Amino acid sequence: MAQTYQALKADLQHKMQVSVDHVKKEFGGLRTGRASTALLESVMVEAYGAMTPLSQVASISVPEPRLLSVSVWDKGLAKATEKAIRDANLGVNPMADGTLIRVPIPPLTSERRVELTKIAHKYAEHARVSIRNVRRDGNEALKKMEKDGIISQDDHRKYTDEVQKMTDSVIAEVDKALKTKEQEITQV
């Protein structure tokens, strides 16, 4: 009887966690005052006739707090990689030196910090909406289980409360990640 609810609960937890992981990955791509390899993860390079993630054509390292170093494996892709980084609209200006591309990270202006904070809030809100949609789907599944006689009305109420508590806890995790990212962005 409760076995089907346990499977539903595990599925809901997994889907909610995917939303949290996704928003944390998006936060990683937001530029702070410090260099981070996550900044270049979303960059796509035109390589061999296809768009390829930067991490598949080069290695990225952080030799200094305000510098990223991109070491391109194929010399023929150095120019395309430099162009892809420049065109990614990250507010950085890469400098090529053979197969090594240096990406200095300039300090953020106060306007850019405000803009990045707004973007972080937008990412967090998308995650919250996604989590609430998972909750809605779970509640609909519980209604159907009650209607089909798989769970009782009391169990339905109890499980709905559990789903709500799970939702609240996952949204709190998103809010905590947002607060951390805001502090990173506003730190001078």
Q: What is the pLDDT of residues 75-90, one digit of tens each?
A: 888 888 988 888 887 7
Q: Are residues 116 and 23 in the same domain?
A: yes
- pTM metric for this prediction: 0.69
pLDDT in tens, 33-71: 667 777 787 788 888 888 888 888 898 888 887 888 999
Q: Are residues 91 and 131 in the same domain?
A: no
- State the DSSP H helix or E strand holding residue 59, giving kind and residue range, or none if neither: strand 58-64
User: Residue 2: pLDDT above 60?
Assistant: no
Question: What confidence score (pLDDT) does residue 36 get?
Answer: 74
Q: Are residues 117 and 166 in the same domain?
A: yes
Among 83, 104, 125, the domain-final residue is 104
Chain-wide mean pLDDT for the chain?
87
Domain that holds residue 10: 2-29+109-186
Measured CA to CA, the distance from residue 184 to residue 164 in angstroms comes to: 30
Q: Are residues 181 and 119 in the same domain?
A: yes
Residues contacting 131, CB < 8 A, separation 6+:
16, 19, 20, 167, 170, 171, 174
Number of domains forming the structure of the chain: 2
Of 13, 29, 42, the closest CA to residue 173 belongs to 13
User: CA triplet 117, 14, 52: central angle to 5 degrees?
Assistant: 60
Residue that is written with structure tokens 């989590």 in the block: 131
pLDDT in tens, 119-138: 899 999 999 999 999 999 99
Q: Are residues 88 and 179 in the same domain?
A: no
